[in-house]
Chain A
């Protein structure tokens, strides 16, 4: 932490050292947008799966294909991160855990917890 480091004149993403809370925050946003973009596909698959026996099988078959497997992995991470980061946000709104050390710790828990849940999913599903 050099106090005399000049203020950045442009956003160099490779030089910005985001604190854990910053990572949790931008990932909260990215995961939300990812889930938003997949809503039509998920809604369609859900409808297909409930339609009839054939639709149910077709939906399961679609979920087995590689692109959808990868997407489901991404969405599991998105959901896990968004949920954990959202809960952290709600607690911070209630002024619970707002000290710098506790907020940093909870940010680490969110960032790593989401990855851990994704690995668990990877172990079950793929």
Chain B
């Protein structure tokens, strides 16, 4: 898995583009939303991400980032790292870092959504 481009090229190519479209829309909408609201303090910031819709859209954003970055970094590794053992090791490390970061963001969103946890 994930060693050659040919093995899962089209799927990765499509995934890269689908996630790209979502990431672009989310970023533009979220930037606009934050600018219009003018988040001034902690409670406004927490309320914003504690909203169910914002929370779910942001969780989807974090997952889309993970998939997008996974494909992108895989392409970079395939281009520059030719020793397969090193390429796979780096890919594994990247995967762990990305998955850990995703869980961290999801945890933060869940805590923001639950009133009175903190």
Contact = CB atoms under 8 A, between A and B. Distances in A.
B105 to A, nearest CB: 5
Interface residues of B, number: 29
B6 interface: no
Interface stretch (A14-22, A36-44, A65-73, A101-109): A36-44
A86 B98 CA distance: 21
Contact of A50 (B65, B98, B101, B111): B111
Given A33-B73, A33-B76, A51 B100 contact: no
Contacts of B45: 49-50, 56
Interface in A41-94: 43-44, 46-47, 49-53, 56-57, 79, 83, 86-87, 90, 93
Contact of B105 (A46, A56, A79, A93): A46
Nearest to B28: A83
A113 interface: no
Interface in B44-80: 45-46, 49, 65, 69, 72-73, 76
A90 B102 CA distance: 26
Contacts of A49: 45
6 contacts: A32-B73, A36-B69, A39-B65, A39-B69, A39-B97, A46-B105
Interface of A: 29, 32-33, 35-36, 39-40, 43-44, 46-47, 49-53, 56-57, 79, 83, 86-87, 90, 93
Pairs of residues from A and B, 3 with the lowest C-beta to C-beta distance, nearest first: A47-B108, A43-B101, A56-B42
